[in-house]
Amino acid sequence: MDAVPALDEPLKKVLGPATAKVMAEHLGLHTVGDLLHHYPRRYEERGQLTHLADLPMDEHVTVVAQVADARLHTFASSRAPRGKGQRLEVTITDGSGRLQLVFFGAGVHKPHKELLPGTRAMFAGKVSVFNRRLQLAHPAYELLRADSEEAVESWAGALIPLYPATAKLESWKIGKAIQTVLPSAQEAADPLPETLREGRGLVPLPEALLKIHRPHTKADIDRARARLKWDEAFVLQVALARRRHADAQLPAVPRRPKPDGILAAFDDRLPFTLTEGQRKVSKEIFADLATDHPMHRLLQGEVGSGKTLVALRAMLAVVDAGGQAAMLAPTEVLAQQHHRSVTEMMGELAEGGMLGGAENATKVVLLTGSMGAAARRQALLGLATGEAGIVIGTHALIEDKVQFHDLGLVVVDEQHRFGVEQRDALRGKGKQPPHLLVMTATPIPRTVAMTVFGDLETSVLDQLPAGRSPIASHVVPAADKPHFLARAWERVREEVSKGHQAYVVCPRIGDEEDGAKAKKKSPEDEAEKRPPLAVLDIAEQLARGPLAGLRVEVLHGRMQPDDKDAVMRRFAAGEADVLVATTVIEVGVNVPNATVMVIMDADRFGVSQLHQLRGRVGRGSAPGLCLLVTEMPEASAARQRLNAVASTLDGFELSRIDLEQRREGDVLGQAQSGTRSSLRMLAVIDDEEVIAEAREEATRTVAADPDLERLPALRTALDALLDEEREQYLEKG
């Protein structure tokens, strides 16, 4: 976070090339400063053992426990046909639960000598399931001997820090590396303005870094955490405040609808009344459109809350005022679908310049990469002359050839799928910066909105329109209760026999080169999970087996755009009964006749993604059903996650659960992967107060000194936070 030479020192100079390489590749740590900001995930106390009772599946964990018993088994295998294969099973305990460790082959000799009953050690490995029991296969371990000089020294102090680790680098090795670089913490430049730090009683940064890595008491940890949370929240909020400040300086053309224009005509022909929520949000948007600096608004709404209608009314208001509106969709399937639904909603108002078009109609054009040359030329002409008031398209809208007559509003659907260059390129096509409306169907808790979308004003649509049907969701434990899965396919047949349709969603396509997976598995590999179920395999199995006789089609991202569209059209027209698809159907696909969705390997999807997918059924008058199929055991975290999804339809509640479970994920990007996080200390759910206060302080700081000339250390911290990828993610807002 700091541009101080000692902290900029590359790790390979300090720790040697081998360790530095692993740190760079697996943890994203390159400099001494990076390593100092790799904080412990938690701390062990000497006399206290970790809870084995709540181990997370599929994560690398570090536990401190005692060996309860160890047994060596011999068995026959393809490698050792005469029964010479060896397997060491060690059971460890911590008072709260027991866990099995397993070692194979030549790897059994050392642990067999060292892991005797009564021995205490730290163990690190990936939690997997074998024979429906949790286990660590071939864990690394470090014995905790009270008499060994090194052990006493390296675990000095009552609290042992446990670091986010990887298979290649255990927590204790990271701890030793940090011990080496810790003296450099004295040279860390403090990004917080002194008045703020003293006013809030926060310790200086060098002291916080020492205390977080080498605490003597729990109070040390609390003080260090409080300080480091403020750093993260404040630096991030300053970045957002500067962006808001810069945007507020930009000019824009105010766009006000005419009392008797196309918007009024559209409202008159709506067959239903707007919900209270839609009216309120529209009012906020229209107030923004009427000002002379650009609107920057995030519209978040539950799946099916009518966001598209609100966005369309905003676009019509701009057309009324003589401008044009562009809607950017992440996929061709979605762009085509938006185009279809917008032209259907507008009817003759979308037939500008055509016979039968209404008097104040405009033209609505579609622009995607796979369009034929003639249709494309026609669309481009309509945009350049201003004849087309509304354009809906994919990234093809951004190309140099696309010229607008007067672009007044950009609507970005599902913004997290667009890079900053794409959005800025589209905004650059206006004579003055156009207004911006960003839509997302992923509900975002208030703190996250303040963090990730801090440069946008937020509007929330949380009311579902009348006539929407409830969706029942159930977990189908395929391994524990295979007859439940058979019943799921019967339910699909029942729905189809009533004239309805079904989706089956799989995590993988299935045409990948998968030679590695085809090899015969050794017992060691058996502990690893099988690859995720694939669309092509499942579609074939269903068509031959439980859904034989039904019209089953497939849809996935590697199909040609024309083929994808043809499949979607057939499904929408009711010419296919079951659509087996990947998550390409996750956003925006609207087939009211589809009433049931079966999600295979549901544990491989995130909470928000499952909620999105589920929103594709129950869009008509018949109730929806979503079946979450999983082979994960009852006690696993994955099952708890699925139970949470099945128990509520409230997307905001689920997004909180999602965030709490992701823990290490980086709120600022990189697919929440948990590798390297710019928010290492701040928990967006728990630290709502810190984030809100930091936002106020940041706004004040930037208003007083927009270029941070009087705060060089803060500027340095900002540059480090906004390395290229993060700057882009921030600007995606």
Helices 332-346 and 307-320, interaxial angle, to 10°?
70
Per-residue pLDDT at 536 exceeds 60: yes
pLDDT at position 341 is 86
Please name the residues in contact with 326: beta carbons below 8 A apart, sequence gap of 6 or more. Answer: 390, 391, 392, 393, 397, 404, 407, 409, 410, 411, 426
Q: Mind listing the pLDDT tens digit for each residue in 332-375?
A: 878 888 898 899 889 888 887 665 666 788 999 999 888 888 99
Instruction: Name, of 226-230, 350-354, 357-361, 583-587, the range with top average pLDDT.
Output: 226-230
> Can you give the pLDDT at residue 474?
93
Token pair 């024309």: residue: 562
Q: What residues pair up with 85 in beta bridges, in sequence order?
A: 75
CA 553 to chain CA centroid, Å, is 29
Max mean pLDDT among 451-465, 487-501, 522-536 falls in: 487-501
Could you give the CA distance from residue 435 to residue 45 in angstroms, rounded to a whole number? 55
> Over the range 294-311, which residues count as b (16 or more CB within 10 Å of their CB) and which as e?
bbbbbbbbbbbbbbbbbb
Q: In the chain, what is the greatest distance between 2 CA atoms, to the nearest angstrom?
A: 93
243 pLDDT band (50/70/90 cuts)? confident
670 has pLDDT over 50? no
Give the Cα separation of 570 and 381 in Å (integer).
31
SS3 at position 723? coil
State the Cα–Cα distance between residues 421 and 411, nearest whole angstrom.
15
Name the pairing type of β-strands 140-143 and 363-367.
unpaired
Alpha helix (H) residue ranges in 648-682: 651-662
Per the CB < 8 A criterion, the answer to whether 598 and 629 are in contact is yes
Q: Are 67 and 91 in contact (CB under 8 A)?
A: yes
Which pLDDT belongs to residue 674?
A: 31
Residue type at 469 in one-letter notation: S
Give 372-426 as a 3 state SS string. Answer: CHHHHHHHHHHHHHCCEEEEEECHHHHCCCCCCCCEEEEEEECHHHCCHHHHHHH
* Residue among 608, 602, 575 nearest 504 (CA): 602
What is the pLDDT at residue 83?
Answer: 57
Give the Cα separation of 31 and 27 in Å (integer).
12
CA distance 327 to 73: 64
pLDDT in tens, 674-726: 333 456 667 666 777 888 889 889 999 999 999 889 998 888 888 877 664 45
Instruction: Tell which residue, 200, 231, 207, has the closest CA to residue 221.
Output: 207
**pLDDT number for residue 359:** 75
Residue 599 structure tokens: 């999600």
Tens digits of residue pLDDT in 137-184: 888 888 877 655 455 444 434 577 888 777 778 787 888 899 899 998
Q: Provide φ and ψ at 63, rounded to 5°.
A: -130, 150
State mean pLDDT over 78-84.
Answer: 61
The rounded Cα 536 to chain-centroid distance in angstroms is: 26
Structure tokens at 352: 């500008």
Give the separation between CA 460 and CA 409, rounded to whole angstroms. 19
**Gyration radius from the chain CA atoms:** 29
Cα torsion 540, 542, 548, 549: sign: negative
- Residues near 460 by beta carbon (within 8 Å), at least 6 away in sequence: 277, 281, 300, 301
Mean pLDDT (whole number) for 593-605? 92
Q: What share of the chain is helix, strand, coil (3-state, %, to 5)?
A: 45, 20, 40
**Per-residue pLDDT for 78 more than 80?**
no
**What is the per-residue pLDDT for 365?**
93
Of 74-83, 453-462, 609-618, the one with minimum mean pLDDT is 74-83
Mean pLDDT value of segment 396-403: 82
User: Structure tokens of 30?
Assistant: 């390159």
Q: Which amino acid is at 404?
A: F
DSSP structure class, residue 469 = P
Q: Which has the minimum average pLDDT: 19-28, 170-179, 415-424?
A: 415-424
Task: Give just the sign of the alpha carbon dihedral 720, 721, 722, 724.
Answer: positive
Q: Average pLDDT for residues 222-242, to the nearest whole number? A: 90
Rounded-to-integer distance, Cα 652 and Cα 445, Å: 6
At residue 291, the pLDDT reads 93
Higher pLDDT, 451 or 249: 249
For the record, the structure tokens of 292 come out as 């002379």
pLDDT in the model for residue 467: 65
Measured CA to CA, the distance from residue 643 to residue 229 in angstroms comes to 32
The runs of H, that is alpha helices, within 68-217 are 109-114, 149-154, 171-181, 194-199, 205-213
Phi/psi for 661 (5° steps) reads: -80, -25
pLDDT at 422 over 80: no
262 vs 602: CA distance, rounded Å? 45
- Given a cut of 70, whether residue 518 has pLDDT beyond it is no
Burial (CB < 10 A; 0-12, 13-18, 19+), residue 614, is buried
Token output for 356: 């039968």
How confident is the model at residue 679, as a pLDDT? 62
Residue 209: is its pLDDT beyond 90? yes
What pLDDT, in 10s, does the model give residues 423-458?
677 777 878 889 989 888 766 766 667 766 677 778
* Residue 525: per-residue pLDDT: 39
Give the pLDDT band (50/70/90) at residue 509. confident
Structure token pair of residue 730 = 């921030």
Q: Looking at the predicted structure, is the pLDDT value of residue 673 above 50?
A: no
Q: Which has the closest alpha carbon to 325: 191, 434, 403, 198?
A: 434
pLDDT, residue 128, reads 84
pLDDT value of position 668: 44
Q: How far is it, in rounded angstroms, from Cα 12 to Cα 30?
A: 8
Average pLDDT, the chain: 81
**β pairing state of 552-555 and 624-630:** unpaired
Closest C-alpha to 589, from 345, 312, 270, 331: 331
